[in-house]
Amino acid sequence: MATTHTLLSPAELNYLHTSLSLRPPIRSDGRLPTQFRPLTAETGILQGTNGSACVTFSDGAEAIVGVKAEIEKTPDAQQSGDADEKKARGDWVEISVEIPSQRDDDAATVFLGEMLREALLGDGEFAKKLWINRRFHWRLHIDILLLSPPLSYPLPLLSLTTHLALLATRLPKLKSEGDEDPMFDDDWESSVFVYPREGASEGTRPPITLLVVTVGDNVIFDPTKEELAVAETALAVSVAEVRRERPRGGMEVDSKGRELKLLSIRTIDPPSRLTPPGVPNGTATTATEGKPAPSNLSSETPVAGVWKAPLGGTKFTVVDGIIQAVLEKGGVADEVLDGLDGVELA
């Protein structure tokens, strides 16, 4: 986990766990279970990139993403085959995640980067956008920088920042035709967005990855570090919006309708599993005869009011509930995408 360990006692963990398993849950910062922390976002902050974004959460967590594109020759360009067929490869996209005070080859960091990459390439549409012709393609470098010290698991922050940076990414307009060496329009004003604006062609929008935890039967979105420390399950759910081309001319009555697609779900090992269990009041804790407290404590039946690290996997109904909450109309993903739509793209 990218989080630094919370210094919470078993009693505090239990207090948090109990209040979060109430119905409705009471979160320590007073948010609703599906409510996100407020954030400020900005795009087009770096001049030297094709697209960039900066997102700051209210707790001070901040990330910058820069997208840079390079032309690359496609190796073993097939001479045969249909010219219209776009053969795209996922490795045209490179994602690197930098987290201060952590090595860049740290397993947690690599996992984080791969999770974001997987969601991005999940629908197979994205790599096709980088196809220029049969001989050349764009190589996209997505550099993700976490600026603040890691406060909570930074996945939602990094995912939202990447989403915005990709929305703001523009590539020069292609002037050449067919398989000749690519020539581009040098006017940046006429460059094309990788993810075209409203009403344009159909296709997906960049994915967002949401961090969801469950405590008891409650599903809680955008957990803080403390909430993550008592979570029974932590899931990273990636969704993308599918834009269909609507028939022109007709009145768009249901313009708010958004089609969401579930791309991937990954379980994340919550730090709560590593917490020490609490000891019930009745148990003799003073080590008589120099012996420590009985070691079979963890296998005992749970005592109300005593913290016990969660064991075992996630129930299917819980996963189902999470997917429902994410995908339903007016659900969390809808709300987040609405919020992100409000960000002005430079």
Between strands 208-215 and 218-221, the pairing is antiparallel
Q: Which stretch binds other proteins (CB under 8 A): 123-131, 147-155, 190-198, 270-278?
A: 147-155
Rounded alpha-carbon distances, angstroms, from residue 95 to 66, 116, 126 = 10, 8, 14
The interface mask with other proteins, positions 76-115, x = CB under 8 A, is --------------------x-x-xx-xx-----------
Residue showing tokens 């094709």: 50
Helix or strand holding residue 177 (H, E) = none
State which residue, 139 or 266, has the beta carbon closest to other proteins.
139
Edge-first strand order for the sheet with 39-43 is: 39-43, 51-57, 62-73, 136-146, 93-98
Q: What is the largest CA-CA distance in the chain?
A: 86
Least separation in angstroms between residue 3's CB and other proteins is: 14
State which residue, 6 or 14, has the beta carbon closest to other proteins.
6
Least separation in angstroms between residue 141's CB and other proteins is: 5
One residue of 88, 132, 143, 226 binding other proteins per CB under 8 A: 143
295 binds other proteins (CB under 8 A): no
- Angstrom distance (rounded) from CA 235 to CA 232: 10
Helix or strand holding residue 235 (H, E) = strand 233-243
Least separation in angstroms between residue 70's CB and other proteins is: 6
Least separation in angstroms between residue 80's CB and other proteins is: 32
Least separation in angstroms between residue 50's CB and other proteins is: 9
Q: How many residues bind other proteins (CB under 8 A)?
A: 27
- Angstrom distance (rounded) from CA 104 to CA 96: 8
Phi, psi at 176, each rounded to 5°: -80, 165
- How many angstroms separate the first and last alpha carbons of the chain? 34
Least separation in angstroms between residue 214's CB and other proteins is: 27
- Angstrom distance (rounded) from CA 1 to CA 229: 11
The interface mask with other proteins, positions 40-79, x = CB under 8 A, is ------xxxx--x------xxxx-x-xxx-x---------
Residue showing tokens 């189902």: 320
- Angstrom distance (rounded) from CA 83 to CA 229: 53
Least separation in angstroms between residue 111's CB and other proteins is: 18
State which residue, 67 or 318, has the beta carbon closest to other proteins.
67
State which residue, 100 or 294, has the beta carbon closest to other proteins.
100
One residue of 18, 19, 74, 148 binding other proteins per CB under 8 A: 148
Provide the token pair at 315: 């129930």
Exposure string over 139-158, b if 16+ CB within 10 A, otherwise e: ebebbbbbebebbbbbbbbb
Provide the token pair at 167: 């929305």
CA 19-23-25 angle, to 5 degrees, is 40
The interface mask with other proteins, positions 215-254, x = CB under 8 A, is ----------------------------------------
Q: Which stretch binds other proteins (CB under 8 A): 146-154, 182-190, 192-200, 208-216?
A: 146-154
Interacting residue ranges for other proteins, rule: CB under 8 A: 46-49, 52, 59-62, 64, 66-68, 70, 96, 98, 100-101, 103-104, 141, 143, 145, 147-149, 151
